[in-house]
Amino acid sequence: MVGPNIKSAGFLVSLLLAGLVLGWILQTVDRIVGFPRLLPYPINSAGLALIAFGSWIRLWAGAVFYRQNPSMVSFKVPPKLVITGPWRYSRNPLYLGLIMIGLGFSIFFFSYSDLILTLVGALLLHLEVVMHEEKVLTQKFGNIYLDYKKQIRRWI
């Protein structure tokens, strides 16, 4: 069985590679469409800091999550409610890290298209995934989850 740190790191690497490819494609789309650059050089380097911070959050959250739910398969209800590690600060640290990475790539690649895609993706993630997960977690964990919801913000 693959350990939680390896599982989390493997997903993060694939996410970053996809972000690089998508950022490059969307930067090209922006040029073709005639969008101006989102931010001038060297300010776009701030995107790297956002990518790094979002990656750190995802790596930490993934390791904590998989340590407590080692046999977890995506899109299933987790056997254990995770409220330690980054979940002490946000109920959705995996998604928060993902959004930060997306925003970081938008800034790094100067891309309005990337920014729009990230913001639409974040909105859909919130409406379709987070809201659904909260209902499912409430059903499975009851008052434990409801108490946790009262204490910890959804995002930051």
Alpha carbon distances (Å) from 74 to 25, 87, 108, 111, 147: 28, 18, 29, 30, 25
Residue 114: per-residue pLDDT: 93
Angle between helices 4-33 and 112-124 (to 10 degrees): 130
Residue 1 has pLDDT above 60, yes or no: no
Mapping DSSP onto H, E and C, the string for 102-130 reads: HHHHHHHCCCHHHHHHHHHHHHHHHHHHH
Q: For the chain, what is the domain count?
A: 1
Q: Would 156 be classed as within a structural domain? A: no
Dihedral sign computed on CA atoms, order 38, 41, 43, 46? positive
Give pTM, 2 decimals: 0.91
Total length of the chain: 156
SS3 54: helix
Residue 2 has pLDDT above 70, yes or no: no
Domain that holds residue 137: 4-75+82-151
Which has the minimum average pLDDT: 9-18, 32-41, 43-52, 68-77?
Answer: 68-77
- For 141-151, the pLDDT digits (tens) are 999 999 999 99
- What's the CATH code of the domain at 114? 1.20.120.1630
Token output for 81: 């409610």
Alpha carbon distances (Å) from 134 to 38, 44, 124, 126, 149: 34, 35, 15, 10, 9
Residue 116 has pLDDT above 90, yes or no: yes
d(C-alpha 87, C-alpha 95), whole Å: 11
Mean pLDDT, residues 96-120: 94
Looking at residue 34, the DSSP 8-state letter turns out to be T
Residue 110: per-residue pLDDT: 87
- For 56-102, the pLDDT digits (tens) are 999 999 999 988 887 766 667 888 999 999 999 999 999 999 999 99
